[in-house]
Amino acid sequence: MPLPRPVRFAVPLVAGAVLVAGCGAGGGTAAPPDAEAAGAGRPVVLDNCGQRVEVGRAPRRAVALDQGSAEILLSLGLADRMVGTATWTDPVLKGLEKANATVPRLADRYPSFEKVLDTEPDFVSASFLYTLGKGGVAPRERFAKLGVPAYLSPSDCVGKDNSGDGDGVRTRPLTMDTVYGEIRDLARVFGVPERGEKLVGELRARVAAATAGADFGDASVLYWFSDSQGPYMAGCCGAPGIVSGTLGVKNVFDDTKEEWPQINWETVADRDPDVLVIADLTRRAQSAESAAKKIEFLESHPVTRNMTAVRKKRYVVLSGQAMNPTIRTVEGIEKVAAALRAYGLAK
């Protein structure tokens, strides 16, 4: 997820083990907490983005620091074990509205470390390395010192180099298997592995249905996340790469491994994609966040208004989360596939 340029910087992975979380008040869903603590498979120990994360008891006071992580926990039926969420770009995933309404939103963007601690968390999870860094909420080591396990989505570290000053560089293409692995990790941590397998199975089935009998081999697409002044377009190998690879279409900027490179409009027009996939964001961090503002810009700017996709109004509107490596990446696959069929680009 592209971050505002003034606050973007590299956050190195910290060393050291994450300690066992203390007990919080509240009720569990899968089993009584004492039974969970004594049951098989405890403690849960994960090698997570270069750190050891050990969870001695299924969390009862979890905080999801990014929307993607929150939607996984909500999809696993864990709302009553959550005491906070933060960093939202979109309305909550359809079907999760009621559960989400029961969980306090600590901030639309990054809450302070102190505000998170006020919830007395026994587990925190995040989708992005930046969130668990100095410019986000707090480095993982600060949570570790207080005995709070901090889990980072593998999609933001596995096969990715975050040492630069941008949004990272993919050293190998991301796949949905990494997202599925995150679901399974979190389901294990909370003692509900069967729910994790059920969710993974549902997502796999949706991908299969979206791609059944389709051949989009000659189509080209471009993914625009945010900003009209210095637009962030998707490189080859992040979540949009999953969408392109699954559907067999060409991302016109698949020649860069940067996660979200900033590319000038002259270069965009020169690549002239068949379809424009644009994020519809509700945040207000940069220019042209909403899909409506993006389309207004494309159809009025002298460099972009004559592009094939603009002239033919071949737009695919996605949530920001569908263009991040989350469970909503499947939504991206479905909507792009449906649009390609509707635009007559399927063989």
153 pLDDT band, cuts 50/70/90, is very high
Across-strand partners of 280?
Answer: 319
Residue 14 placed within a domain: yes
Query: Are residues 184 and 314 both part of a single domain?
Result: no
Query: Are residues 60 and 120 both part of a single domain?
Result: yes
| Eight-class DSSP state of 202 | H
Cα–Cα distance for residue pair 106/129, rounded to 1 Å = 19
Instruction: Using the predicted structure, report yes or no on whether residue 33 has a pLDDT greater than 60.
Output: no
Query: Are residues 119 and 219 both part of a single domain?
Result: no
Cα–Cα distance for residue pair 234/222, rounded to 1 Å = 7
Query: Are residues 242 and 113 both part of a single domain?
Result: no
Choosing from 206, 223, 256, the residue where a domain stops is 206
37 pLDDT band, cuts 50/70/90, is very low
Instruction: Using the predicted structure, report yes or no on whether residue 285 has a pLDDT greater than 80.
Output: no
26 pLDDT band, cuts 50/70/90, is very low
CA distance readout (Å), 206 to 200, 202, 333: 10, 6, 9
Domain span at 31: 5-206
Backbone dihedral angles phi then psi of residue 330, each to the nearest 5 degrees: -65, -40
pLDDT at residue 248, as a whole number: 95
The owner of tokens 């294990």 is 188
pLDDT at residue 303, as a whole number: 96
Query: Are residues 223 and 186 both part of a single domain?
Result: no
Q: Which residue has the higher pLDDT, 29 or 168?
A: 168
Show the DSSP H helices in the chain as ranges: 33-38, 67-75, 97-101, 113-117, 140-145, 176-189, 193-211, 239-247, 265-271, 291-300, 308-311, 329-342
pLDDT at residue 218, as a whole number: 84
21 pLDDT band, cuts 50/70/90, is very low
Cβ–Cβ under 8 Å, residues 54 and 20: yes
Q: What is the mean pLDDT of residues 61-85?
A: 98
Choosing from 145, 172, 206, the residue where a domain stops is 206
- The set of residues, in sequence order, having a beta carbon less than 8 Å from that of 24 and lying 6+ positions away, is 59, 60, 61, 83, 120, 121, 122
Residue pLDDT, tens place only, 245-281: 999 999 999 999 999 999 999 999 999 999 999 999 9
Instruction: Using the predicted structure, report yes or no on whether residue 29 has a pLDDT greater than 60.
Output: no
1 pLDDT band, cuts 50/70/90, is low
Bridge pairing between strands 44-48 and 82-86: unpaired
- 95 burial (CB, 10 Å; 0-12 / 13-18 / 19+) is exposed
Cα–Cα distance for residue pair 147/120, rounded to 1 Å = 11
Query: Are residues 316 and 180 both part of a single domain?
Result: no
Query: Are residues 312 and 283 both part of a single domain?
Result: yes
Cα–Cα distance for residue pair 334/207, rounded to 1 Å = 7
Which amino acid is residue 69, in one-letter code? S
Mean residue pLDDT across the chain? 88
Query: Are residues 161 and 264 both part of a single domain?
Result: no
- Taking the complete model, does pTM exceed 0.85, yes or no? yes
pLDDT at residue 34, as a whole number: 42
Residue 336 placed within a domain: yes
Query: Are residues 253 and 160 both part of a single domain?
Result: no
For 7-16, 76-85, 196-205, which range has the lowest pLDDT when averaged over its residues? Answer: 7-16
Choosing from 170, 188, 206, the residue where a domain stops is 206
Query: Are residues 44 and 189 both part of a single domain?
Result: yes
Task: For the chain, give the percent of residues with pLDDT over 70.
Answer: 88
Instruction: Using the predicted structure, report yes or no on whether residue 25 has a pLDDT greater than 60.
Output: no
Query: Are residues 265 and 308 both part of a single domain?
Result: yes
Residue 52 placed within a domain: yes
Query: Are residues 145 and 233 both part of a single domain?
Result: no
Q: What is the mean pLDDT of residues 171-194?
A: 97
Residue 306 placed within a domain: yes
Structural domain tally of the chain? 2
Residue 347 placed within a domain: no
Tokens of 229: 């002044």
Residue 309 placed within a domain: yes
pLDDT at residue 42, as a whole number: 82
Instruction: Using the predicted structure, report yes or no on whether residue 24 has a pLDDT greater than 90.
Output: no
For 91-100, 139-148, 211-220, 271-280, which range has the lowest pLDDT when averaged over its residues? Answer: 211-220
Instruction: Using the predicted structure, report yes or no on whether residue 6 has a pLDDT greater than 60.
Output: no
| CATH value at residue 15 | 3.40.50.1980
Q: If you compute the radius of gyration of the chain from its CA atoms, what whole number of angstroms results? A: 20
